[in-house]
Amino acid sequence: MYVRLLTVETLHYPIVLQLAFLPLFMFDVVHPFVLPDVVAIGLVASLGLVTGYVGTSAMVLAPTTCSEVEHELVGMTGSLATITGLFAGSYVGLLLNFIVQLLMTTA
C-alpha cells in the first residue's frame, strides 16, 4: 500500500517548489565557494526526487482522465512528453550555464 500525495487537481502545485531550486542553483554557480559541495549534491538530489515523483505521478494519473479506450495512447503521449521535457530541460540548463559563465567573464 502506498500514499498518493498528488491528485489530478493538485498535480501542478509542486511547480512552485521546483522553481524555488532555480535561484539556489544560480547562486551556487555564481558563488561556487560559498556553499559546500555536499549542499550542491543535496540540491540536485532533492530536485531529482521532486521531479521524479511529480513525473511519475503525472504518468500514473494521466490515464484516469480519459476513457478506457484511450489509456494506451495517453500513456505513450505522457511518456513522450516526459522524455521531451527532460531533453529540453537539460539543454536549457546548459544554456543558462553558458549565459552565467559569459556574464562572469565580462564582469
| pLDDT range class, residue 41, cuts 50, 70, 90 | very high
Is residue 61 within 8 A of residue 11, CB to CB? The reply is: yes
**Cα dihedral angle (60, 65, 68, 69), rounded to 10 degrees?**
-100
* Overall average pLDDT of the 67-77 stretch: 91
Whole-model pTM?
0.74
pLDDT of residue 13: 92
| Statement: residue 1 has pLDDT above 80 | no
How far is the first Cα of the chain from the last one, in angstroms, to the nearest whole number?
Answer: 55
Q: What is the pLDDT of residues 86-103, one digit of tens each?
A: 899 899 989 988 988 888
* Overall average pLDDT of the 28-57 stretch: 89
| Other beta carbons less than 10 A from residue 52's beta carbon | 10
Q: Which residue has the cell 511518456?
A: 79
- Listing DSSP states for 33-87 in one string gives TTS-HHHHHHHHHHHHHHHHHHHHHHHHHGGGGS-GGGHHHHHHHHHHHHHHHHH
